[in-house]
Amino acid sequence: MANKYYDAVDAEYRKQMATLAPKDFQAWMTLNAIPGQDNGQIPPRTRELIAIAVAHATGCPYCIESHVNNAKKLGVTKAEVAESVMISAAMKAGSAAAQGGLAMKFFGDDDNA
């Protein structure tokens, strides 16, 4: 067994999920194909930039690799990838700040600073 997370060979374990839960796995594969489709109003290169940003927000290294490679094939620049990552970082930080309001709400009105 490897001593780190996210070894490339770990992706092979998804095959076990495909065998053990085939209908659910196929449903996920259908969803997984959406970013690369060219059948909507958003152009493929923009779809990949969105996918890169979301992959960073969700923290999926496999998605990051896949969508960066797809974007590169579509002519996306390294600077555009960097901007997508920074937009993701800004949105992720924004969600923490927005959710912070819930922490204040749940704490209650005790001014127990």
Q: What are the two backbone dihedrals, phi and then psi, of residue 64, each rounded to the nearest 5 degrees? A: -60, -50
The CA distance from 90 to 56, in Å, is 11
- What is the residue whose two structure tokens read 């839960």? 21
pTM over 0.85: no
Q: Which CATH number fits domain 43-108: 1.10.579.10, 2.40.50.1020, 3.40.50.300, 1.20.1290.10?
A: 1.20.1290.10
Task: Give the whole-number percent of the chain exceeding pLDDT 70.
Answer: 93
The whole-angstrom separation of Cα 68 and Cα 66 is: 6
Structure tokens at 21: 């839960």
Query: pLDDT digit string (tens) for 33-67?
Result: 999 889 889 999 999 999 999 999 999 888 999 99
pLDDT of amino acid 82 = 98
| Residues 22, 50: Cα–Cα separation, whole Å | 28
Structure confidence at residue 3 (pLDDT): 60
**Confidence label for 113 from pLDDT (cuts 50, 70 and 90):** low
